[in-house]
Amino acid sequence: MIPAFTSLDDFRRWRSQRERERARFDELLPAIVNKDGLVPTSEIVLTPNGNWYLKRDKAIPVVPHWRVEPIAALLQARPDLWPLASLRVRPESSLVGRAPVFGVPFARAVEHAMQNNLSEARYWGPPSLNQWNAIHSELWVRIDRLKESEGPSLGLKAWEWVGEGVEINYAHMILTQDGGSARHLDGANIEYSAEADVREIFARREKRKGVAYSKYFRLDGDIAVGDAIEIVRHFFLVKELVCEYFDCIPSWPET
């Protein structure tokens, strides 16, 4: 948040301080990010009032990237999940809006994947009739039966598009074969060269490589499937589509 200034000199001092903090952030970042460009939570210090600072320089404040703000709030309130996470962070907040829209059950999809090695589902939410600026959204989820050295497991991939532009939100899970828990979860944003490429992905249900890929969070460990689904719900922009597919628990807090 930008404070209220009583003079031009106050503003200049504040701006200079922010520039120093950003320069120090850029200096420290290469040493603390993992291969996905994310900062492990072990490198972040939380204050009692909820502010974040870099562990290597507690004078440098950071905030979660806007795409993972809801996930960050969720993880911060869960001491059991917080140590498992890595997040994309920034030296200052961003302002962004989200378009509310709305959107087959996950349990049946798991059973189908275990029997047939593959289960797919596609949903779309039409624009809200009472909101002129709302656009339609699409969700495509694919569950594959995997064979790994640790035993049979399921790989879940989900793509979300909010109906315009060249960016897709993407989530990936590795689940136990019964779908009861997750061993891995991450979320990313994929950018394509043209909107036509994005439309083809959902129309033909064909995976395509984008021109840019940015990961925003990652968790590794034993994660209850309910927690994993809630994290995906927080990351994707259109909560209703996620809830329709995953059959969200009614007692979950609204976002």
User: What's the pLDDT tens digit per position in 221-250?
Assistant: 999 999 999 999 999 988 778 888 887 644
How many CA atoms within 13 Å lie on the side-chain side of 229? 21
Strands 167-176 and 181-191: antiparallel
- Region of poorest pLDDT, from 130-139, 163-172, 186-195: 130-139
Q: Does residue 99 surpass a pLDDT of 70?
A: no
Which residue would you say has higher pLDDT here, 164 or 234? 234
Cβ atoms of residues 61 and 69 within 8 Å: no
Q: Is the pLDDT of residue 187 over 90?
A: yes
- Cα(240)–Cα(111) distance, integer angstroms: 23
The mean of the pLDDT values for the chain is 83
pLDDT of residue 95: 43
96/53: higher pLDDT: 53
Binned at pLDDT 50, 70 and 90, residue 92 comes out as: confident
40 confidence band (pLDDT: 50, 70, 90): very high
Say if residue 132's pLDDT is above 60: no
Q: Specify the pLDDT at position 169.
A: 94
% of the chain beyond a pLDDT of 70:
83
For the entire predicted model, the pTM comes to 0.76
